[in-house]
Every structure is written in C-alpha cells, then in structure tokens.
A and B are shown apart, each in its own frame.
Chain A
Amino acid sequence: MASVSSAEPSRLRTLGRLIGFLRPYRLSLIASIVLAVGSQAAGMAIPWLTGVVIDEAIPDEDAGRLILLVALVAGLGTAKAALMVGRRFIAGRQSLGVEFDIRGALYGRLLRLSYRFFDRHQTGQLMSRATVDLQNVRFFLGYGLIFLTQHVLTVVGVTALLFVIDWLLALIALAITPVLVAVAWRYSHVSHPVLRDVQQRLADMTTVAEESIVGINVVKAFAQERRQEARFRERTEAIFHQSLRATRQQALYMPLLSFLPLLAQAAVLLVGARLVIDGRLTLGSFVAFNVYLLMLVFPLRMLGMWIGQIQRAAASGERIFEILDEPEEIRERPGAQPLQPGRGRVVFEDVTFGYDPERPVLRGIDLEIEAGKVVALIGHTGSGKTTLTALVPRFYDPQAGRVLVDGTDVRELALASLRRAIGVVSQDPFLFSTTVAENIAFGVAGATDAEIEQAARLAQAHEFVAALPEGYETVIGERGITLSGGQRQRIAIARALVLDPRILVLDDATASVDATTESRIRLALREVMRGRTTLIIAHRLSTISLADEIVVLDHGRVAARGTAAELRDTSPLYREIEDHGLVAVGLAPEEFEVSA
C-alpha cells in the first residue's frame, strides 16, 4: 500500500487530478463562475448606490433622482437574485454530476480489482473512502471551487472599492484581514484532527454497542450486563471528553472570529468620522464604506476555512486515487479468446503461489484432473486446498507455472467465459439481500423460473424455499428473513448449479447442515457432479466418499493421490482422517438402512 505522505507537491498534484474530474463540466463551470461574478457585481453596486443616495439625492432633495436610484437598486437586486438562481441550478447539477462520476469510477474500479485487493482491505475501510472521502472531495469540487472563486472575487472587488473610496481608511480596515484569515485557517487546522478523533471514538462506542447487542444472549447467559455497561460507559465518556476538547476549541476561536472584524469597524468609525468632519470624505461614502466592510467579513472568514477544506479534500483525494490507481492485477489479455467447448479437464503445471510471494502456499504443484472426475482435496488447515481451487477461476494468478482448463492457459481466456464455466460454492457462502430467486439466478441474467426451481430442487433447497412466506420471492438477509447456515449453503449450491458449469468447486459445502439434510445433499451432489469435473475440499469422510480420487495436500505440495483403498496403505494423513471418521461412527453402520 502506498504510504500516506503529505508532501506538498503530491498534494498539489492530487488537487490537479481532482480538478481533472471537472473536465466534462468545463462549460457549466465557466457559466456558473460568470453568473457568480455577475451576481456579486450586482450585489456590490448596491452599497455604492446607497452612498450616492445619501450624498446626492438626499441633500439636493431630488425626488426624481431618488426614485431612479431606488429603481436601480431594486433592479440590481432582482438581477442578482436571478443570476443566483441560474448559478445554483448550474453549479448544483455539476456538483452532483461530479459526485456521481467519482462514485461510479470508484465502484467500477472495485469491480475490476482482484481477490488479493479485497484480502488486503476491509469492507469498512473501502466504504469510508466511498462515503466520507468522497464527501470531502465532492464538497471541494462541487461547491468549494465556486464559493472560493466567488469569495476571492468579493474580497478583491470590495478591497478595490474600499481603496477607491478612501485609501487611508482602506489600509486601516484591511490591516486586520491577515489576522482574520490566519485565525480562521488555524481553527480549521487544529479542529480537524480533534473532530476526526471524535469520529474514531464514536466508532469505538459503536463496536461495543454492536457486540453487546449481537451477543446479548452471551451477556445475559453469563449475567454480565453490568460489566458491559461499564465498558460502554467508558467508551461514552471517551466521546464526551473528546467532544469537550472540540467544544473548547470552538469556544476559543468562533467568538474571536466574530470579534476581530469589529476592531476594523471600530477603527474605521474613529478615523472615518474624523475624515467626514474634516470634509475629506462624504457621509454617503462613509456609509458605503461601512456596508462594504460588512460584506468583507464573511468571505474572509470562509477563506480561512476553505484552506482547511482544500487540505482535507487533497488528503481524501489521495485516498480515493489510491483505489483508482490500484493496478488491475487479474486482467484479460488483449485478444483473449472465449473458452472453447470441452469437458473440463484441469491441469496444474508446476504451480507456485503465495498470497505473500515470499511465503508460498503452493510449491510446484503438478496435478492433472481428468474431465468428469470428482476429486477430493484433503489436508490440514493451511495446506493450500482452498488456494489451489482459487487458481482455476483465476481469482489469483500463480507466480510460476500455469493452470490449464481444457488445454488452454487460463490467462489466455476471456475472464467471463472462464468464470461462467466454473461453479463455486464457498465454505461460508455470501448471499445478497434480495429475493431467493434472484440469489439463485445470480450468475445467469435470463434464468427462467423453471431453471431456478430445477437448480433449487437439485440442491435440496426447493422444499424449504417453498415453505418461506413468499416462496422464491422471499427477501433474505439484512432486509429480510434470516436463513440458517445449512439453508444458505443449499442456496449457494443452487446458485452454482444454475450456471450448468463444466467445473464445480465445492469448499466443504455441506459443513453446517444437519445430518439428515446432508445425506440428502450428498445424494443430490452425486447427481449434479455427473458429467462435470468436481473439486471438493473435504473435511470429513462422508464428503470424501463422493470422490473418484483423493488428493492429499501437505504444506503446499501433493503428498499423495489415489483411491481411498490405495491411500489407506500409503498416506498416514489419510489414515488419520479415516480413523477419526470411523471413531465417530463407532459400531459398523451396516445394520442401518440408508433412509434418506
């Protein structure tokens, strides 16, 4: 992972790249800046006219002039409002567009990143980039740039006008501005880490809340309610104390930021009054000057804030680009061919692979699996069973050697055609919170109801699915009904079967199913494995019994292969497993009928 360096040049480059997202919106950006300038100009003209009213129309008691000037003020006000409407519509659309684009780009990139990337990054981390970081960037690109331009223009324009009215008074008034900007920037700078820390403590509190509620039965069973309360209180108090730090900063800076401009106003009042009395400044100009000064306060304060905001956007931008720049590890070669028809012969040729290249999990595996055969992979945890199967659908590429499906190196094949030919059922299958039907049809866009039901029947899932409140249309998961582990497994099997895959990869798929269901699934599997090449990662004898051949893996190498009878003589590891299975059965089970 790229180290998070905060060198300024890289920040600037990030900002430059972020601004690149605005390219499609060039015209609208220009339009909104023009509109903003227009409405600012109209706004700035009003105090000027006020000065003219006081200096010319009123002393001359010139009603006609007064009416004209007032009409002008009203007209400018209307123009200003109209320009603002246009600016808001255009800038708003653009801001939302940029947000849409970046979020889409992030998602698009995530779709193409490999398993290895998701092994390294937790969902929560990735989520915070797509939400919090995106929010910061969006704020900068959407509103920030426009407001910044608007505020800079206001400051420049008003400053110019102040100098036009009276340069001495202007100098006095503006003496305070560097301090104001500096204080505002300082506040934004010191408050940010504290506020981020508050967020962190909130996350800590959420963890305890979640655990206590998800594990409420454990808490209650051990009568530990009071202890969890104490833990929770500790986290809550941590939030309180950190929030208090933020409060102290706020109390220190915010009222100060309101006070500083008053100093300028006071100085202007003192010196300006003298100038008016001496006749070096008209009363109207004095009033206009004061109104302009008020117009300056808000943009100056915001300027300081924006500096902080931009720094934050740059930091967030860096984190977003970390994902956008992440290389696609597994990608199709140009001109990759679709998988040719075949029966599913899988060959591993001298395959070496490690999640960390320094520590290989598979070391020089040579293995040929004949088409249509069922092969059970066994071995201790960490022997490389799951890893080996993950190379077939090209979830990872080997460091050395190659994997062939029906004679073609998987790296030469179009990814989608390869993966559609392989049905994967993992140990703890992930289902989406949508209907059962959609989950089963996940891999096949136009699967018919009949196909879905057929797959469910084969996977022994039809019976329980039909008993759900809305059958196949029942929503499951977070927003629906909770299924048991065994039920989820059977839906995952059905999901793989809908593909009608030529190769099946089952990771001890019957692990959390009760014995009766398991025996049913096993019968079903026997049926569905017919005519397909199947790799089963097995932990128990019952699963092993389904296989034509058994491959024993040990520390990333093939330790033995053969039928059960052969291995009983040659492989101590196999014997260990078999003994264990038989121990569990105890007496020879011949006396029982297979009832399922």
Chain B
Amino acid sequence: MKVHQPGQYGRHVRPSVDDWSWGRTTRRVAVLVRLARPYRLRVVGGVSALLAATAATLAPPILVKIAIDRGIRDSDLELVAWVVAAFLVAGAVGWAAGLAQTYLTSWVGERVLADLRETVFRHLGRLSLGYFERNRTGAVISRLTNDIEALDQLVTEGLTSLVQNTLVLVGSAAILLVLDWRLALATLAVFPLMTVATAIFRRRSTRAYRRVRERLAAVTASLQEDIAGMRVVQAFAREDRSGERFRDVNDRYRAANYETVVLNGLYFPFVDFLASTATAVVLGFGGYLVFDGSLTIGVLFAFIGYLANFFDPVQQLSQLYNTFLAAVAALDKIIDVLEEEPEIDDRAEAAALPRVEGRVRFEHVRFGYGDGPEVLHELDLDVPAGTTVALVGHTGAGKSTIAKLLARFYDPREGRITIDGHDLRDVTQESLRRQLGIVPQEGFLFSGTIRDNIAFGRPDASREDVVAAATAVGAHEFVTRLPGGYEHEVGERGGRLSLGQRQLVAFARALLADPRLLVLDEATSSVDIATERRIEGALRRLLAKRTAFVIAHRLSTIRQADLIVVLEHGRIVEQGTHEELLARGGRYLALYGDWATAVA
C-alpha cells in the first residue's frame, strides 16, 4: 500500500556540479581514492605506462627533424638508418606501453565501478523502508545503473584521456619552445583565441547538451508509455492525437539537437582555421627565419608535425568536458546515497530475539511518517500469542502502518511495541524478521525458479520441504503442471505466473519460513473461483499456530479472525469478535453491511 504522504518531506536540494567548494571537492576525491586504493600497484603501473606511451607519441616529429637536418643535409645515410631504428623503437615502446596502459587503467576502472556498485547496493540494503518510500523507485535504481555508467566513461577512458591529452599538449608546447622559442611564441599566439573560443563553446554546449538529454529522455518516456499503453490508445481511437503529441516531442528533441550541431559546426571549423593559421605562421615566419639561416628545414617540419599534436588534444579535451560534468553530477548523487544514514539501526547493545510465543503489545504508540502529520494516535493493542487479528477500516485508517511498525520498518514516535515483552528497539532487526513473515498484497516474486522463490526466506530448505510447503497451500498442483515444475523460471517479478499463482507461491514462501508472527496484506484481486477456494484453504493453513495480523478485505477471513480491530483515522474505534461487534451495532456493522451487499 503506497500512500503519498511519505513523499512530501525529506527532499533536499542536491548541490550543483558547479559547487567546487573545498568540502565538496575533497569528498568527491576521497570517494574515488578510497575505491582505487586497493589497486594502487596497478594504478602506478598504468600511470607509468601512460607516461611512456605519451613520450613515444611525441618522438616521431623530432626524429624526422634529425633525419632531415643531419642525415639528409649531410648525406649521412647511416644516421638516417639509426633514426629510423629509433623511430621503430619509439613505435614499439608506444605499442607496448599503450597495451599495458589500456589494460591496466581499464582494469582498475572496471574494478572500481564493480566495487562501487556493490557498496551502493549493500548500503541501500541497510537503509530503512522510509528511504524507499520517500524516493522514487526509478531514481534509486538509477544510482546503481545510469549514474554508475556515467562514471564509467570518466573512470575507464576519461581520466586517461585527460592526462594523456594534457601531457601531449604541454609536451608539444615545451618541445616547440625548445626547438625555437621565437617561432613557438609566434605560433602559440593563436592560443589565447582558442582558449576564449573553447571557454565559450564549453559553456554553451554544456547547456545545449543538457537540453538534448532532457528532451531525449522525454522522447524515450513518451515512447515507453505509449507503447505500453498502445492498447488503450487504440481502444479510444486516439491514434491521431497521440501521433501529433509524439511528433511534437520528437521535433523538440530535433530542435535541441540542432543547437549542438550549430555549436559544433562553428567551434570545430574554427579550431581547424586556427590550425591552418598556425601553419601559415610557421611557413611564413619560419621561412623567413630559414632565409637568414637561424632555422633549419627540419625544425620547420617538426613544427608542422607538432601543431597537429597540439590542436587534436584541445578538441578532445573540450569534448571530454561534458562527460566530466555528467560524471561529477552522478558521483554527487551516489555520494548522497552513501551518506544517507539508516533511520532504523540496531542498537549497539541489541540482542537477538529469542524464539517467541508471539504475544504482541502496542503501548501508547504514536506515529507519523517523517515530519508529517501523526497517523496513529495513542494506540493500545494487546494481542495474545497465536491470535489472528483482522485489521479493518477504510483506506488511510492506519492498517498498513500498524503492520510496518510491527516489522520495525519504522519506529514509533512515542510509546513502544513489544513481542513477548521484548521492546522491538532492543533486539536486532535480523532476529526479529527471521521470526516474522510478510505476505504482501501483490505477491511479489523474484526472477528465478519457483523453488528459489518458495525457499526465499530459508535458502537451505530441502526440496522436500519446498514441495511440502507448496502442497500445504495448494500450489503443488499448478506447479507440477508448469514446464520444469519447481525449476520453472517465473520471469521478471514473477511475470510469467498469473496473479493467483503468484499469491499461492508467496503463501508457500511464508509458510516455509515458518514465522512466529505473520503479517498478511490480503489481496482483493480477482482470481477465478477455483483459485479463490484454494487461496482460502491456504490461508487457513498459514494462519494456524501463529500470531497473525491480517489487513483484511475478505469477509471469510474477517469472520474467522479471533480478534477484529476496526480502525478509523489512526485510532482503534472497536475491537472484538465478529459476533460481539455485530451485536454492538457500531462502525463494524456498517462496514459489514457493505461487504454483505458486495457478495450478495
């Protein structure tokens, strides 16, 4: 049961990627460093290989320069042969270093991402249910999928590309200056222009790409929804209007994309223009310097060679910037998750809950979600061990909340809840939940086999135990008819089974776990009559010999309950057996009237 009030609080504003304050930055770096630390040897190896590879790429132009100036001019073929040998050696070093660097850095990158994924998942497992009710499911899943993939680009390629391109840039500039500082300064005069152009491009393209991403997301969302709902579109003869709507979304995406075409279409040719200009400068000024003999042809050649080295990295770096921003944004979201403290945590002195009889007491319990309004007011309830309690009342009366408090998915604001006298807050969550079974309304299953699902709470159960549980709830019959029987794959969220079948498997799962306490959110979904009967029989088996809280919708369940608790607006208004409550002629009688007409 999802009500919307839990979503109303606890939303904090996420810091923007532009926040480069000391605290933020160190936190970002700290996370990455902590993740990479176990693999520091490989990191060192990767970085050394990277340096070697970069040095090797910088070598060829200067080698050609030597061949021209010393070999060719002096007609020294032996020297040329040596230069060629050095050339090949540089190539081989580049090859080997490139191989090592690619392998090592990607290895570390992928490893770090895998570790991060597992860390985030483990942390999510520790967070309380409140966190998952406050945050949209899709957003939480994104932390494990999209956000980590955004980091992937940065970690496996981006960082190396960043370092390598920067080194090539700086290295080329340094070599140019050493070769001839006058020509170098003249050539690099275009650099400020490029810096300005790049800064403008970067800022505007960040915005443009963000818009593209947003609008692509809109296209995807609308496709997703319309395909899923295509039957409805057709049933209501809405094809034309849906088509128009989609054309609109599609067109908006195209328009946003065109902005990036314009930006790229101006920036990249401009960089190319600057490169040509630089070549012209080298030829003109360089040629002039060669006239007076203060520059050699070889240096001229080397300049032309390094200029290519110089402009490529700038283009690559500006493209990298968007990847970088996306990765930082993703990292921030992941850090937020990792810094989220579980609201419900075991106390340091928490003990394991011994095997309980199952007497449950709610003592003066007050509760509300987060900072929201109170939804349970001063609730007192005493349930003897082995009792089946039916919670009845309208939507929003507090039935599900009581069940969640019993499972300690939340702690009460005031008062306490005890089982056999143990305050829930004094025992470990695991020991509590091992004795507690919950059957949710929709009979949620996990992908895997029927057997895996039934044995979910007791993975070590034998096949006989699984079959016995299935037989007891009346699921055995349909399971054996499935291809593969107990080894039948139920599909994503059990999608290959019908609702009724899922419900029976969920019952078997709860029965096999053999909990001392059971919480059952009874389904009202429609199943055919044969299945309905089977479910009723299964329920009876399930409720026997344990304390059970049933959020009841079926009259048959309610009538059989030992204790019926009628809730209204977070208060218990009546409690007693079916007969007692009917005799009293209060709220229960009115509710019962509704049920009776519902089935009559």
Contact = CB atoms under 8 A, between A and B. Distances in A.
Interface string B492-505: 11000010000000
A217 B442 CA distance: 12
Contacts of B290: 58
28 contacts: A58-B287, A66-B288, A76-B276, A78-B276, A80-B272, A88-B264, A88-B265, A100-B250, A107-B226, A112-B239, A118-B231, A123-B224, A214-B137, A215-B493, A222-B433, A232-B117, A250-B102, A258-B57, A259-B95, A262-B90, A262-B94, A283-B68, A415-B237, A429-B232, A445-B241, A478-B138, A514-B553, A592-B589
A229 B287 contact: no
B254 interface: yes
Contact of B237 (A92, A419, A589): A419
B218 to A, nearest CB: 11
A566 interface: no
Contacts of B226: 107, 110
Interface residues of A, number: 165
Contacts of A74: 276-277, 280
| Among B100, B113, B288, residue most surrounded by chain A Cβ atoms (within 10 Å) | B288
B107 A229 contact: no
B390 to A, nearest CB: 13
Contact of B492 (A81, A99, A211, A586): A211
A252 B220 CA distance: 36
Given A445-B241, A540-B599, A595-B593, A219 B235 contact: no
Nearest to B506: A218
A218 B600 contact: no
B395 A380 contact: no
B597 A542 contact: yes
A215 B72 CA distance: 75
Contacts of A430: 228-229, 231-232
Given A82-B269, A269-B83, 12 more contacts: A46-B276, A88-B268, A111-B243, A214-B493, A223-B430, A227-B459, A232-B121, A259-B92, A263-B91, A270-B84, A395-B234, A519-B597
Given A433-B225, A542-B598, A250 B106 contact: yes
Contacts of A499: 236
A527 B247 CA distance: 40
A252 B95 CA distance: 9
B590 interface: yes
A367 interface: no
Given A73-B283, A239-B114, A432-B229, A108 B237 contact: no
Nearest to A577: B529
Contact of B235 (A248, A262, A424, A512): A424
Nearest to B459: A227
A115 interface: yes
Contacts of A66: 283-284, 287-288
A502 B221 CA distance: 34
A259 B145 contact: no
A66 B92 CA distance: 39
A240 to B, nearest CB: 4
Give the interface size class of chain B.
35 or more
Contact of B64 (A217, A263, A269, A518): A269
A585 B276 contact: no
Contacts of A594: 593, 597
A262 B88 contact: yes
B600 A221 contact: no
B132 interface: yes
Contact of A287 (B280, B301, B593): B301
Interface stretch (B17-25, B361-369, B520-528): B520-528
Contacts of B591: 515-516
A422 B232 CA distance: 12
Contact of A237 (B75, B114, B250, B596): B114
A242 B591 CA distance: 59
Contact of A585 (B122, B301, B600): B600
Nearest to B79: A273
Interface stretch (A3-11, A146-154, A199-207): A199-207
Contacts of B258: 92-93, 96
Contacts of A111: 230, 233-234, 239, 242-243
